Chains A and B, each alone.
Chain A
Amino acid sequence: MTATFPPETGAADGSAETLMAPSRPVLAQDWRRLVRMGAVGAVAQIFIALSNMPVRLDERAVVKPILSLGYLTLLIVPFAAGNRAGHQIKREGMPVYAAGTHEVAGGTACGALAGGGLSLLAVLLANFDLREPLVNWSPMLAELLAFGNATWFAVVVWLLIGAAVGAVGGALRVLGPRTRRAVVTMALTVAGTAVLEPLVVDLAEGMRLEALTDWLYARRGGVNWTGALVLAAVSGVVAVVGRGRVRQAREHIATLEGAKRTRTNLGLILLTAAVLVILPLFAGKLTNELLANVGLFVLLALGLNVVVGLAGILDLGYVAFFAVGSYSAAVLTAATSPRINPEMPWLVALIVVVIITGLVGLFIGAPVIRMRGDYLAIVTLGFGEIIRLIFLSDWLSGWFGGSQGITKIPGAGIFGLTSVAGTDPRRVFYLVLAFCAIAIYVSWRLERSRLGRAWMAVREDETVAEAMGINTVNVKLLAFVVGAVLGSFSGAIFSAKVGSVFPNSFLILVSIVILVVVIFGGMGSIVGVIAGSAVLIGVLGGPKQPGLLAEFSEFKLLIYGALLIWMMLARPEGLIPSVRRSRELHQQEMAQDAWLRGEVEDDDSNGGGQAAPAT
């Protein structure tokens, strides 16, 4: 890229200001980079097409007559490639060009290449039969790619679509920030409304607003053509008029201090709580079921967040605590449990469950706590799998029912007032909500306690923490136990909700999904973890629970895997990062920035001093 830069004009004085140069000529592209990105995009397109996503998701319409979710999956890659093509690496002291035709042209080329992947696939589909290893090598896919026409049509049309979408992606860089925000808001509103359709329809039925949804959505799913236009217009206007008021408000709240801050926070929390309490009253079974599932994963994720996010212990066997919680609750409450069946009331059983899981946490934690971080991860994974294999084995099937599991578990009785079972998801949700509130309060208080600070110290540097007088072993063990107890809440509710427990509900996969939720949301950030569960579990679904996009159930684990990689590469601090954690991750960059700004002399707190030349 450096070849296209003109001689640095105003950078001679060494100022760290970013310089705005005029836009580049259209043809001065870094062609190798474009071709590389286009080729990667083409491979990604072929992969997506052969994963059967387009065919399976073609049923689900986004905007009724023109765009289905299936075709949308094929448009994402050229769009991203086109947008990425216009990306400039900003270096301090280097000029930044104004975006212009250059970006659009690059995006078009890149998008066309990515779209060309599908053209190639269409030709291959027509001429070869690779159905033997590739299960989705089907005439259906060929038909979908060609829009029902001949192969040459597919070839031409995907090149054109790729180029057009890539151009849009590139053009997004040219727009001013305000227009860009409006466009993005419009697109996201329409897509979001389409994704949330089951939820919106369900709520509208509860509130007797069917007329609205009848107008907005087409009969067999998807936003109406007119509905989409109106939505886009309204959201665009809101975005233009709003002009970042939300961000201003957030920044304003962040600057508040003392009593004012507390009051604002309290108000926000009460508002959220009120919405969450009132919403289920209007919602039907589907929404409540979804909310209850999200809540269960919030509980699990909050527990794992204490272990991974606060104490920095990568526990890959977290599902063990979920399993132990579920099984012990089942054994204690169900009359059908094979060996011991005390048939305790649920709340009494819960106390025992917490004690048992805490002990299991201690038992698993004690041997591993001194290990190196990565060995610890593998060993906890082993423990998670051992616990499942033990529940599954014939050896203890006299206690836990082996592969038959324990069935007919009664619902959770609360002081003899009500009984909460899976048949009434609304009550389950209220129960989950109550426990989430407890878990949130506990994590929030812990984070700010002496123990929480000790955890974070251990996470950042164990040796230093030890030198500061922290008993690292005890502190880490406590993290394990707290995480285990929070996980056991979720387990106890899960067994009462589902009414049965089987060893196969506790695969390692569950641990990984919870880990993805925590990392996606932001390690160590309570709000982030909640948002992460809401987005991932709510939209894509949990390991066995369907989400809003039920059609994605075959692909959600694939997406979770890709998301985990992408988050680690692009945004390791997560969606809504905890301030401290992101500071830790970007320490070096921030130190460099500080050095460039010449702020290092009186700043010896964060290791930034080492980045400065030693003079």
Chain B
Amino acid sequence: MIRTSGPRRGAPRTGVDWFLTVLRVAALTVIAVGLLAFIWQEIDTDNPFARWANPDATGLTGAQFRGLIVSGVAQGCMYGLIALGYSMVYGVLGFINFAHGEVFMVGAMTGMITSNKLADAGLWESNFIGSLVFIVIVSMVVCTLTAVIMERVAYRPLRGSPRLIPLITSIGVSFFIQNASIVLLGPAAKAYPDVPDWVKDKHTFMQIEGARILVVVVAAVSMFVLWYLVEHTKGGKAMRAVAEDAEIAALMGINVNRTIVRVFAVGGAMAGLAGILWGILFRSVIHTTGFLPGIKAFSAAVVGGIGHLGGAMAGGISIGVAESVGPLLILEPLGVSGVSQLRDAVAFAVLIGVLLLRPAGIFGERLPAEDRT
């Protein structure tokens, strides 16, 4: 594992280190106090510690809490699917493909266009599952193409340049795709057609909406397929070899360029899938749809450890749950008003916290050889 933050062992502690320690302690204190206050609220709403910072504290009912967790998990599965793309590209090329969130947006947009066309033809209502499979396929194909073209045009010529250069380029790509969506499709938010009742309604099974179950199931299945592809096929082996050391892999007769294209394609397909799930869950898409999920998915990739497939999924679910539960669990008992507005701020705080406290992630990271030294 490489040293990404913190002083080298034996190096003198500087002011920055003290500051960081203070910051870590402060963050942990806020979390601990907020949690304790929350627990007190749950036990007894009238107790003075629960009332200490937030006199209106009521705590959460069991059903509310479960609802938050479930929506967090469903959202987290989506982050996990997007995170796979970040994780795999970072694992192989060693740079953050900032535009990956935009690929996800392209997926959601494609789904919107296709599903509306299907709804016009009457197929969406009559054969929902069939149409869903169809838009998933279309969206995955479009996203794969987007990701591959992106790699070919913007990233391949920059291979081997200083690592910030492809990052800056990917920011440009992200900006370009977002604004291309504005000029081509218009700046307004666009709606998905209405979904059948069984997707919208809460089911007897733990009172969960059908859409959320669908998201979790689809994410689990695609995760399994991807795991099989990467761990048990020849192409997957090539990917792992290139991630380990591109130069040696090339010497072993692996076509590095083709493997990298494949990595982008797989990441793009997963993002396309996530885009459709987003569309089914929220039924609205706009050009900025990709930005926040993209950033959060990147945090998820870091939380799970760059280069780990399972880690990306685990990280995604943790980020999803943290941002859905965190504000109410920690900030509300501390007397912060309007916590739901701070949802995204919490997600960013989680990102910063993770990079600060444990930049190598939960499972440790697998980086290209040159980045490990």
A joins B in a complex: yes
* Interchain nearest-CB distance for B304 vs A (Å): 15
Does B295 contact A572, Cβ atoms closer than 8 Å? no
Inside 8 A of A370's CB, which chain B residues have their CB? 4-6, 16
The stretch of B40-48, B167-175, B260-268 in contact with A is B167-175
Does A394 contact B337, Cβ atoms closer than 8 Å? yes
* Interchain nearest-CB distance for A117 vs B (Å): 15
* Interchain nearest-CB distance for B41 vs A (Å): 19
Contact digits for A466-505, partner B, Cβ 8 Å, 1 yes 0 no: 0000010110010000000000000000000000000000
Does A555 contact B338, Cβ atoms closer than 8 Å? no
Q: Does B28 contact A (CB under 8 A)?
A: no
Chain B residue with Cβ nearest A40: B153
Q: Does A257 contact B (CB under 8 A)?
A: no
Chain B residue with Cβ nearest A381: B295
Q: Which one, A367, A395, A473, A568, contacts B169 given CB within 8 A?
A: A568
**Max count, chain B CB within 10 A of own CB: residue among A314, A368, A372, A560:** A372
Task: List A residues 365-382 near B (Cβ within 8 Å).
Answer: 366-375, 377-379, 381-382
Categorize the interface residue count of chain B: 35 or more
Categorize the interface residue count of chain A: 35 or more
User: Measured between alpha carbons, how far is A562 from B96 in the docked complex, in Å?
Assistant: 19
Does B348 contact A386, Cβ atoms closer than 8 Å? yes
Inside 8 A of B161's CB, which chain A residues have their CB? 572, 585
User: Measured between alpha carbons, how far is A572 from B165 in the docked complex, in Å?
Assistant: 8
**Max count, chain B CB within 10 A of own CB: residue among A47, A132, A136, A366:** A366
Q: Does B113 contact A (CB under 8 A)?
A: yes
Q: Does B183 contact A (CB under 8 A)?
A: yes
Q: Which one, A382, A389, A515, A563, contacts B341 given CB within 8 A?
A: A389
Task: List A residues 561-615 near B (Cβ within 8 Å).
Answer: 561-565, 568-569, 572, 585
The stretch of B64-72, B228-236, B275-283, B350-358 in contact with A is B350-358
Q: Does B202 contact A (CB under 8 A)?
A: no
Does A135 contact B169, Cβ atoms closer than 8 Å? no
Chain B residue with Cβ nearest A572: B165
Does A390 contact B154, Cβ atoms closer than 8 Å? no
Chain B residue with Cβ nearest A133: B113
User: Measured between alpha carbons, how far is A142 from B373 in the docked complex, in Å?
Assistant: 58
Contacts A378-B351, A392-B341 given; indicate if A568 touches B184 (C-beta within 8 A). Answer: no
Q: Does B198 contact A (CB under 8 A)?
A: no
Q: Which one, A383, A395, A557, contacts B175 given CB within 8 A?
A: A557
* Interchain nearest-CB distance for B16 vs A (Å): 5
Q: Does B336 contact A (CB under 8 A)?
A: yes
Does B342 contact A562, Cβ atoms closer than 8 Å? no
Does B341 contact A394, Cβ atoms closer than 8 Å? yes
User: Measured between alpha carbons, how far is A565 from B113 in the docked complex, in Å?
Assistant: 28
Inside 8 A of B185's CB, which chain A residues have their CB? 133-135
Contact digits for B172-207, partner A, Cβ 8 Å, 1 yes 0 no: 111111111011111000000000000000000000
Does A374 contact B164, Cβ atoms closer than 8 Å? yes
Does B163 contact A558, Cβ atoms closer than 8 Å? no
Contact digits for A46-78, partner B, Cβ 8 Å, 1 yes 0 no: 010011110000000000000000000000000
Q: Does B60 contact A (CB under 8 A)?
A: no
Does B351 contact A50, Cβ atoms closer than 8 Å? no
Inside 8 A of A107's CB, which chain B residues have their CB? none
Does B345 contact A389, Cβ atoms closer than 8 Å? yes
Does B352 contact A379, Cβ atoms closer than 8 Å? yes
Does B295 contact A378, Cβ atoms closer than 8 Å? yes
Contacts A366-B16, A377-B167 given; indicate if A136 touches B184 (C-beta within 8 A). Answer: yes
Q: Which one, A135, A372, A564, contacts B184 given CB within 8 A?
A: A135
Contacts A133-B113, A369-B16 given; indicate if A554 touches B183 (C-beta within 8 A). Answer: yes
Q: Does A316 contact B (CB under 8 A)?
A: yes
Task: List B residues 1-34 near A (Cβ within 8 Å).
Answer: 4-6, 14, 16, 19-20, 23
23 A–B contacts, CB within 8 A, in A order: A50-B183, A132-B113, A133-B113, A134-B185, A136-B184, A316-B171, A371-B5, A375-B4, A377-B96, A379-B352, A382-B349, A385-B345, A393-B338, A395-B339, A473-B14, A515-B168, A558-B179, A562-B172, A563-B172, A564-B169, A565-B176, A568-B154, A568-B166
Known: A377-B164, A393-B342. 10 other contacts (CB 8 A): A371-B5, A373-B164, A377-B96, A389-B348, A515-B168, A554-B182, A561-B176, A561-B177, A565-B173, A585-B162
Taking Cβ atoms with an 8 Å cutoff, the residues of B that contact A are 4-6, 14, 16, 19-20, 23, 95-96, 113, 116-117, 153-154, 157-158, 161-169, 171-180, 182-186, 291, 295, 298, 302, 336-339, 341-342, 344-345, 348-349, 351-352, 355-356, 359
